[in-house]
Chain A
Amino acid sequence: SAVISQKPSRDICQRGTSLTIQCQVDSQVTMMFWYRQQPGQSLTLIATANQGSEATYESGFVIDKFPISRPNLTFSTLTVSNMSPEDSSIYLCSARDRGPLGTQYFGPGTRLTVL
């Protein structure tokens, strides 16, 4: 299995600012993902973080708003840019391990509040 940590665990930010969330996995994984979980809602996939290349974004999410990096197999960052109150959510990092078919694991999440 993979153990995933995220920093920060929570933050309160002002409108118009940006926040970068870090995700670290304790083992090499094949794929990394970023999800958003709005209050009381299910998870929505933002993008797949690709090592050494641009992330693959889902419909409704764009690189200018959510730039993502993945410089190696165990680390990724998500930036929430030019924040507004509508960006208040839990942001979850996820990774797929190298086992047969690969099981997807999740980090503890970053709880973001935008004022």
Chain B
Amino acid sequence: GNSVTQMEGPVTLSEEAFLTINCTYTATGYPSLFWYVQYPGEGLQLLLKATKADDKGSNKGFEATYRKETTSFHLEKGSVQVSDSAVYFCALSDLDAGGTSYGKLTFGQGTILTVHP
């Protein structure tokens, strides 16, 4: 079956520090990969996604590259801000048999990020 493993948290950084949150996956097919973010007291928001090997998803200064050879999708940001404090979830989804829509999302355990001024 499919699974997603994220680095252990929580992660605490100072403002303007470099961020990496590791994510590796196991999948039976050729999945699409996602990063979701959950700000305090809110639901999940899609941060970025990548649908094929070597694709780079990016949004709000965050980036992640789909690495099929290492089955990884690490999240990076060059300079974090206090407002980036949130829980970050890595997730994957296989395409259905027809290749026309995503199947169920499988989530990692989430990584809590706290950024101090």
Contact = CB atoms under 8 A, between A and B. Distances in A.
B59 interface: no
B43 A42 contact: no
A101 B51 CA distance: 10
Given A43-B89, A45-B104, A45-B105, A103 B46 contact: yes
Contacts of B46: 103-105
Interface string A91-115: 0101010000111111111000000
B45 A96 contact: no
Interface residues of B, number: 22
B44 A92 contact: yes
B80 to A, nearest CB: 22
B109 A41 contact: yes
Interface range on chain A (Cβ under 8 Å from partner): 20 to 34
A18 interface: no
B105 A104 contact: yes
B50 to A, nearest CB: 12
12 contacts: A41-B109, A41-B110, A42-B89, A43-B44, A43-B105, A45-B105, A96-B101, A101-B100, A104-B46, A104-B102, A106-B44, A109-B42
